């Protein structure tokens, strides 16, 4: 198998779009440098020109002025079809063709590019596996027989199929429910760890931006850049009132979106399988020294929390015993997701799962609280340092003024 292509740098120079009949340009002289392998998220109020800016990068919308360079090559005037092979594109409600199977949808660009059949077949399998869908189960289904989240995964698989160095995503998770959205975001982060594409992502949702971005571009009207910086910098030192307004309240809590489950302590936990006889479950719980044990299904996925009392009441069968696991998180989930899951499940901990939903450990409430305290302390320290720095910088001027006086 060929090495996957990594990201390419993107440069936008004085990029402008004036729609026919509009008095003002919708995108006005945008200059932006995006590094190879970086995830940049565009956020800003509705109508500020995010989608127009994004769609000019693959020339779905033709610029009225300015240049676009990908890996140094000026692509402003090249054949758009050739350009689109370099640039994958995924959109909200995924844009799958309803009369084509999942495999045919994913194979679209490789087929246009003239890949041999066998290579396409292998690539479809590889892509389905990459986005966490079992090829045997999903290859021949039609899009209408998929959930919203599954459709979105196929949309991402299709965008990545021809292995483009650049991936553009226009509110790709806008139409799915919040839990599925969290999982899709986690998967995108995992994928990006493996693939290192250059991703330009548009969203309305500032929390989504914080979670996904290496750098965020906050845009105001006509795609004027209000701030282009890391999520940390935007949260802790917004450039002006417009950006602060966009960050909104609770910046400290939003910082929870910046730390991932894999960065805090994931610990082991006693587990048993649904196939274990009741006596084995009882013995394991007794020897574990905990009050609770996690029951896994046949595929090793978290299924139910079982307490000692549940076992006593079980009367020979575990069918009705215990509390079903409602929510799990992956290693790429944010602390905020984890905190939410802990509060939802009401067990003081959340199960962490791997790529196929299999159990890999737990994160407990204490670990989460310690991390929150550490983050808040770090913020306070930073604010204090910034303030001291400010006072020091001001001091000489004040003395000089005093002397002058």
User: In angstroms, what is the minimal distance from the CB of 267 to ligand ATP?
Assistant: 41
User: In angstroms, what is the minimal distance from the CB of 402 to ligand ATP?
Assistant: 50
User: In angstroms, what is the minimal distance from the CB of 48 to ligand ATP?
Assistant: 4
Nearer to ligand ATP, 26 or 105 (CB): 26
Give backbone dihedrals phi and psi of 362, rounded to 5 degrees, phi first.
-135, 155
Whole-number Å distance between alpha carbons of 216 and 15: 18
Nearer to ligand ATP, 225 or 252 (CB): 225
Nearer to ligand ATP, 30 or 154 (CB): 30
Q: Which positions lie near ligand ATP, rule CB under 6 A? A: 19, 22, 26, 44, 46-52, 204
Whole-number Å distance between alpha carbons of 46 and 39: 21
Nearer to ligand ATP, 52 or 58 (CB): 52
Whether the CB-CB separation of 58 and 87 falls below 8 Å is answered with: yes
367: tokens are: 């670990």
Q: What angle do CA 39, 249, 50 make, to 5 degrees?
A: 35
Alpha helices in 334-364 (DSSP H): 335-345
User: In angstroms, what is the minimal distance from the CB of 189 to ligand ATP?
Assistant: 23
Alpha helices in 161-214 (DSSP H): 178-195, 206-212
User: In angstroms, what is the minimal distance from the CB of 212 to ligand ATP?
Assistant: 17
Whole-number Å distance between alpha carbons of 199 and 35: 10
Whole-number Å distance between alpha carbons of 369 and 388: 28
CB atoms within 10 A of CB 243: 19
User: In angstroms, what is the minimal distance from the CB of 26 to ligand ATP?
Assistant: 3
User: In angstroms, what is the minimal distance from the CB of 266 to ligand ATP?
Assistant: 37
Whole-number Å distance between alpha carbons of 153 and 156: 5
Q: What angle do CA 354, 358, 364 make, to 5 degrees?
A: 75
Residues 364, 370, 372, 373, Cα dihedral to 10°: 160
Nearer to ligand ATP, 27 or 306 (CB): 27
Rounded alpha-carbon distances, angstroms, from residue 325 to 296, 345, 350: 10, 7, 9
Nearer to ligand ATP, 141 or 224 (CB): 224
Nearer to ligand ATP, 54 or 102 (CB): 54
Nearer to ligand ATP, 24 or 287 (CB): 24
Whole-number Å distance between alpha carbons of 261 and 333: 6
User: In angstroms, what is the minimal distance from the CB of 175 to ligand ATP?
Assistant: 13
Instruction: Indicate the helix (H) or strand (E) that contains 306.
Output: strand 302-307
User: In angstroms, what is the minimal distance from the CB of 31 to ligand ATP?
Assistant: 17
Q: Is 374 helix (H, G, I), strand (E, B) or coil?
A: helix
Whole-number Å distance between alpha carbons of 154 and 98: 12
Q: Strand 73-74 and strand 65-70: pairing?
A: antiparallel
User: In angstroms, what is the minimal distance from the CB of 397 to ligand ATP?
Assistant: 42
Nearer to ligand ATP, 22 or 287 (CB): 22
Nearer to ligand ATP, 22 or 291 (CB): 22
Q: Which is nearest to 252 in space by CA: 390, 344, 382?
A: 382
């Amino acid at each position: 198998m060929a090495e996957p292509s990594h990201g390419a740098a993107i440069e936008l120079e004085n990029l402008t779009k004036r729609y026919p009949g509009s008095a003002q340009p919708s995108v006005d002289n945008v200059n932006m440098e995006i590094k190879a392998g970086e995830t940049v998220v565009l956020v800003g109020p509705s109508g500020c020109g995010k989608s127009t800016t994004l769609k000019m990068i693959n020339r779905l919308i033709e610029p009225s002025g300015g240049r676009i360079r990908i890996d140094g090559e000026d692509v402003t005037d090249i054949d758009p079809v050739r350009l689109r092979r370099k640039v994958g594109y995924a959109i909200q409600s995924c844009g799958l063709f309803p009369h084509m199977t999942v495999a045919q949808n994913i194979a679209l660009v490789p087929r246009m590019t003239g890949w041999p059949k066998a290579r396409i077949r292998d690539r479809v399998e590889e892509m389905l596996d990459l986005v966490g869908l079992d090829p045997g189960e999903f290859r021949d289904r039609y899009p209408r027989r998929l959930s919203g989240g599954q459709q979105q995964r196929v949309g991402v698989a299709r965008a990545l199929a021809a292995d483009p160095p650049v991936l553009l995503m226009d509110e790709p998770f806008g139409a799915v429910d919040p839990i599925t959205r969290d999982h899709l975001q986690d998967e995108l982060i995992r994928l990006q760890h493996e693939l290192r594409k250059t991703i330009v992502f548009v969203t309305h949702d500032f929390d989504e931006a914080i979670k996904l971005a290496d750098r965020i571009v906050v845009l105001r009207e006509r795609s004027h850049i209000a701030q282009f910086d890391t999520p940390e910098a935007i949260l802790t030192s917004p450039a002006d009132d417009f950006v602060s307004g966009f960050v909104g309240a609770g910046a400290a809590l939003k910082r929870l979106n910046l730390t991932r489950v894999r960065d805090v302590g994931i610990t082991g936990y006693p587990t048993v399988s649904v196939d274990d006889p009741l006596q084995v479950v009882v013995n394991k719980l007794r020897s574990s020294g905990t009050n609770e044990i996690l029951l896994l299904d046949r595929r090793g996925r978290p299924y139910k929390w079982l307490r000692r009392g549940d076992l006593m009441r079980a009367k020979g069968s575990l069918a009705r015993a215990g509390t079903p696991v409602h929510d799990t998180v992956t290693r790429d989930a944010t602390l905020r997701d984890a905190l939410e899951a802990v509060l939802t499940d009401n067990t003081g901990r959340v199960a962490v799962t791997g790529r196929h939903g299999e159990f890999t450990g737990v994160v407990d409430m204490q670990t989460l609280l310690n991390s929150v305290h550490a983050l808040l302390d770090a913020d306070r320290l930073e604010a204090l340092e910034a303030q001291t720095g400010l006072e020091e910088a001001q001091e000489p001027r004040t003395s000089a003024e005093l002397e002058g006086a």
